[in-house]
């Protein structure tokens, strides 16, 4: 098995080139820099064409809802003149119940257009359901590779629920235990079947989310007279932040992009023992931080999801705060939605409290819920794993040990993650992945500045600090 694993992984570049129908080598400029915008535009679809493709696939044009009751709640404990208006884009109205239908619609369109017989995706989450749904609509075969179990073959109820919905759409689901075999088996299957890789991180997949940002700019302008002042995005692998921000920018919106993740610090995402001690399968720091600080850890040679290019703030919330807000959204707004989008909702409530009342804060997605995805199912499962459950101060949450549900909404208080620290980590990773002894060029410095949303001068300072051991 070890020999087979090494052989398959050694052919990763060749397999993915065939499975994506795209030669990433044409965009490389150096061991560090590459033509990002050239890669993003290589699929050849304009934003209007993407939106047209999605409309035909039953994707997009989801409701934008003002959350007047949650706004009133926030204003009840905010300071004088504080408490921004809260809105949500109800992406659960898409075909498979999440914003990832936008991503999947483009992958499936490309697969059909290029003549692939089917598609394969590696995911434990909503993306699998989206790919399976769109593949069924297009008459393509679909295989979903999914990390489902720990070594005891115990699966989280949310992941098991997602397996069920993928199978309901006609996909073949390959279930695995947590570990490095996920992408290995996906590569094997891609090579054996000749299917398209419906990667989360392809340019056409991430471009599919740009329609979401464009809709937000248009709909908020029609509703309030201007684009949103702030958009809060649940952040995991970075595609959601990247695509939404790019769509807003295309429409000329000067919107602050706020990413949000659940604090799962101390839990390792590839750990067999930690796998079932995290009550969130996505939208948490276990994905959010590593993918932001080194996006090219993905299954494609160059990741189209590069969130540090676009985020203005990165807010962290606790598990208990997200579960509290999930319940509040149901009780106050009549929206029973899954916890993933409500990660951003918890951060948005904290953010809105400190903003003026004429500011507008949009949570840019919701996800469907039900059965294993419901927050009560997740809390019951956490209790079965020996995790303490209680009401109190959410600051006392301990990932993998205790989930503390707030007693009052004013206890919801997101914390800022240090973007400067993340940028330094990204630059360090870029230098470490370059050949030994490689000296960054001025072109590399410009690229790193773009990729970290800073300036060449700041990048040079970071490099100098790294070399000095700071």
CATH code where residue 412 lies:
3.40.50.1100
Tell whether 263 and 320 lie within a shared domain: yes
Judged on CB neighbours under 10 Å (0-12, 13-18, 19+), 203 is buried
Tell whether 30 and 43 lie within a shared domain: yes
Tell whether 72 and 211 lie within a shared domain: yes
Tell whether 439 and 337 lie within a shared domain: no
Residues 6+ apart with CB under 8 A from 56: none
Tokens of residue 321, six digits: 């705060």
Number of domains comprising the chain: 3
Q: What was the pLDDT predicted at 181?
A: 80
Tell whether 212 and 92 lie within a shared domain: yes
Tell whether 261 and 133 lie within a shared domain: no
Tell whether 335 and 398 lie within a shared domain: yes
Q: What was the pLDDT predicted at 381?
A: 92
Domain of 149, in residue numbers: 2-52+98-205
CA dist 331 → 98, 324, 335 (Å): 21, 11, 8
Is 147 among the domain residues?
yes
What distance in Å separates the CA atoms of residue 178 and residue 149, rounded to the nearest whole number? 6
What distance in Å separates the CA atoms of residue 86 and residue 89, rounded to the nearest whole number? 11
Is 421 among the domain residues?
no
Is 409 among the domain residues?
yes
3-state secondary structure of 65: strand
Q: What was the pLDDT predicted at 341?
A: 83
What distance in Å separates the CA atoms of residue 107 and residue 200, rounded to the nearest whole number? 9
Tell whether 6 and 45 lie within a shared domain: yes
The answer to whether the beta carbons of residues 344 and 232 sit under 8 Å apart is: yes
Tell whether 295 and 234 lie within a shared domain: yes
The answer to whether the beta carbons of residues 296 and 313 sit under 8 Å apart is: no
List the chain pLDDT tens, one digit each, 470 residues: 557 888 888 888 889 889 998 999 999 999 999 999 999 999 999 999 999 999 999 999 999 999 999 999 999 999 999 999 999 999 999 999 999 999 999 999 999 999 999 999 998 779 999 999 999 999 999 999 998 999 999 988 888 888 999 999 999 999 998 877 888 899 999 999 999 999 999 999 999 999 999 999 999 999 999 999 999 999 999 999 999 999 999 999 999 999 999 999 998 888 888 988 888 888 899 999 999 999 999 889 999 999 999 999 999 999 999 999 999 999 999 999 998 889 999 999 999 999 999 999 999 999 999 878 888 899 999 999 999 999 999 999 999 999 999 999 999 999 999 999 999 999 999 999 999 999 999 999 999 999 999 999 999 999 999 988 86
Q: Which of 188, 205, 222 is the last residue of a domain?
A: 205
Pure H helices in 179-271: 181-193, 203-207, 210-224, 239-250
Tokens of residue 71, six digits: 């706004």
Is 422 among the domain residues?
no
Provide the 8-state DSSP code for 435: P
| Beta pairing partners, 404 | 390
Terminal CA-to-CA distance of the chain, rounded, Å? Answer: 42
Tell whether 307 and 283 lie within a shared domain: yes
Is 334 among the domain residues?
yes
Q: Which of 148, 173, 205 is the last residue of a domain?
A: 205
Tell whether 243 and 373 lie within a shared domain: yes
The answer to whether the beta carbons of residues 71 and 85 sit under 8 Å apart is: yes
Tell whether 249 and 291 lie within a shared domain: yes
């Amino acid at each position: 098995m070890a020999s087979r694993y090494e052989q398959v992984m050694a052919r990763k570049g060749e397999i993915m080139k065939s499975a994506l129908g795209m030669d990433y080598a044409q965009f490389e400029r150096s061991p560090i820099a590459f033509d990002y915008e050239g890669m993003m535009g290589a699929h050849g679809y304009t934003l209007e064409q993407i939106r047209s493709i999605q409309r035909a696939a039953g994707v997009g044009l989801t409701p934008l809802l003002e959350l007047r009751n949650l706004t009133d709640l926030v204003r009840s404990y905010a300071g004088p003149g504080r408490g921004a208006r809260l809105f949500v884009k109800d992406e659960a109205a898409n075909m498979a119940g999440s914003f990832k239908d936008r991503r999947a619609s483009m992958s499936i369109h490309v697969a059909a257009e290029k003549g692939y017989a089917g598609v394969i995706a590696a995911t434990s989450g909503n993306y699998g359901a989206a790919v399976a749904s769109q593949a069924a609509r297009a008459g393509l075969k679909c295989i979903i590779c999914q990390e489902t179990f720990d070594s005891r073959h115990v699966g989280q109820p949310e992941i098991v629920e997602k397996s069920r919905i993928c199978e309901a759409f006609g996909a073949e689901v390959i279930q695995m235990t947590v570990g490095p075999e996920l992408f290995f088996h996906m590569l094997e299957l891609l090579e054996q079947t000749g299917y398209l890789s419906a990667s989360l991180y392809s340019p056409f997949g991430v471009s599919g989310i740009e329609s979401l940002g464009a809709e937000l700019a248009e709909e908020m302008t029609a509703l309030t007279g201007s684009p949103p002042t702030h958009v809060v995005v649940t952040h995991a692998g970075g595609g959601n932040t990247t695509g939404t921000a790019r769509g807003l920018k295309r429409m000329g919106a000067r919107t602050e992009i706020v990413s949000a993740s659940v604090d799962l610090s101390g839990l390792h995402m590839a750990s067999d023992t930690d796998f079932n001690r995290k009550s969130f399968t996505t939208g948490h720091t276990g994905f959010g931080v590593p993918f932001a600080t080194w996006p090219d850890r993905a299954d494609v040679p160059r990741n189209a999801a590069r969130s540090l290019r676009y985020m203005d703030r990165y807010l962290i919330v606790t598990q208990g705060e997200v579960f509290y807000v999930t319940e509040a959204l149901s009780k106050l707004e009549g929206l029973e939605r899954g916890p993933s989008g409500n990660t951003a909702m918890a951060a948005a409530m904290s953010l809105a409290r400190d903003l003026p009342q004429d500011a507008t804060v949009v949570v840019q997605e919701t996800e469907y819920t039900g059965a294993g995805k419901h927050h009560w199912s997740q809390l019951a499962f956490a209790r079965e794993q020996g995790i303490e459950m209680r009401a109190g101060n959410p600051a006392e949450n301990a990932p993998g040990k205790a989930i503390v549900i707030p007693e009052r909404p004013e206890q919801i208080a997101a914390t800022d993650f240090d973007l400067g620290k993340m940028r330094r980590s990204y630059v360090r990773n870029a230098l470490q992945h370059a050949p030994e002894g490689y000296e960054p060029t001025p072109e590399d410095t410009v690229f790193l500045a773009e990729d970290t949303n800073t300036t060449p001068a700041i990048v040079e300072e970071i490099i100098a600090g790294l070399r000095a051991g700071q």
